[in-house]
Amino acid sequence: MNKINILFISLFSLLLFAQCDSGADDGAYNGDEEQGVELPMLDIDNLREAPFKIGGAISVSTLKSDEHYRNLVVEHYNSVTPENEMKMVSLSTGNGTYNFTDADYLCDFAAENDMRVHGHVLLWYYATPSWVSSFVGDRNDWLALMRTYITDVVTHFKDKGVTSWDVVNEALLDDGTYRSSVWYDNIGEDYIKYAFLYAAAADPDALLFYNDYGHEYSYVKLAAINNLVDELVDAGIPIHGIGLQMHTDIEKSENQIKYAVRTAAYRNLQVHISEFDVSVNPDAETSLTFTDSLSLSQQTTYRWAAEAMMECDEELRYGITFWGVSDQYSWRYEDDTDWVLPFSNDYQKKDAYYGLLQGMYQ
Ligand code: GLA
């Protein structure tokens, strides 16, 4: 895709965006009238009863070591994504050799508890094993390496009950151009097409996703992602869904979140909010505390995400996956003072949890 194309699509997206909501919205958090306090607090027995799948990124080591974590996963989630266990660096020990132990453990756990397993991720620029980073070969050698990896992994996990995959993760930069990676650098942009074709050949029934971030904060990137997906669909490549990571924060507007989701559903593809978490501390202030006001702002953002999913046709709602289980195990909690998930450190339901329910049922 060239830059003029991206610019044109971006302008077009901006126009559409403006039409979707004629209310004034400068992208900033709107203040008290948007907070969730005035809505009644609903509850259901657990999130498994929700009108679409709810999942979490699961760490196998925490699943084994923390009983409360495990209990919460079993109680609320009917979909799991391995946090790291299916990344190439975790699975691949050499060309054609693998360590499936932790990922298999998660698949067995999911089968015992009647959960869907979403495979994450076949190709990414990051988490590449050193034997791959240092591999030397021509384009055909790289395609062969990639084919062997995707074929072996998808075939293995087909038998373990994995029914969907993030085939390619984060292939684009914020300016809409392709990101450098061993795949892009050695094969060219076609690596994406081949990845989907190889995955489909190994498991023709699997749902195949393109996963990325930034849909809700960058029109340029959103347009580039949608353009890439459209090109794949037009070329007859088997792609079935869009993963919107949505590692987002309370400063993003309702429009930004809902418009991103709408553009995915507009393509008649499965819509997965695939790595959802909502920062209350986007500026990483070290002295911040989690006040009621921040909690209610976060509740509102969670509500918008659920509303956005409910706006999609039922058959396109692949679900919402949180990137973690409870706040203290979130990747964003480690570095900053932040509380990004619907469950607190002590596994209690936060306002964010009730925001989800508001979005689903009101
Ligand atoms: C990206 C990846 C995830 C995870 C998160 C944060 O979004 O897709 O697998 O690594 O970063 O850690």
Identify the residue with better confidence: 5 or 250. Answer: 250
Is the pLDDT assigned to residue 318 strictly greater than 90?
yes
CA 353 to CA 306: how far, in whole Å? 10
Q: How far is the CA of 341 from the centre of ligand 1 (A)?
A: 15
Contact 306, 355 (CB under 8 A): yes
What whole-number distance in Å separates Cα of residue 238 and Cα of residue 208? 7
pLDDT at 211: 99
Q: How many residues does the chain have?
A: 362
* Mean pLDDT of the residues in the chain: 91
Measured between alpha carbons, how far is 192 from 190 in angstroms, rounded to an integer? 5
User: 274: CA distance to ligand 1 center in Å?
Assistant: 10
Ligand 1 neighbour 100 (Cβ under 6 A): no
Mean pLDDT value of segment 50-69: 97
For residue 140, pLDDT beyond 80: yes
User: Which of ligand 1's atoms lies nearest the C-alpha of 124?
Assistant: 8
pTM: 0.91
DSSP single-letter state for residue 336:
S
Ligand 1 pocket member 275 (CB < 6 A): yes
Q: Which residue has its alpha carbon closest to ligand 1 atom 12?
A: 331
The whole-number pLDDT of residue 44 equals 85
**Predicted local distance difference test score (pLDDT) of residue 362:** 84
What does the pLDDT read at residue 39? Answer: 67
**Which pLDDT score, from 0 to 100, does residue 243 have?**
99
Confidence of residue 43 (pLDDT cuts 50, 70, 90): confident
245 ligand 1 Cβ < 6 A: yes
Rounded to whole angstroms, how far apart are CA atoms 233 and 181?
Answer: 23
Ligand 1 midpoint to CA 120 (Å): 9
What is the Å distance from ligand 1's center to 320 Cα?
15
Long-range contacts of 62-70 (CB under 8 A, 24+ apart): 62/325, 62/329, 63/105, 63/106, 63/109, 64/105, 68/326, 68/347, 69/325, 69/326, 69/329, 69/347
User: Over pLDDT 90: what percentage of the chain?
Assistant: 85
Locate the ligand 1 atom nearest the alpha carbon of residue 331 and give its number. Answer: 12
The tens digit of pLDDT for each residue in 173-222 reads 999 999 999 999 999 999 999 999 999 999 999 999 999 999 999 999 99
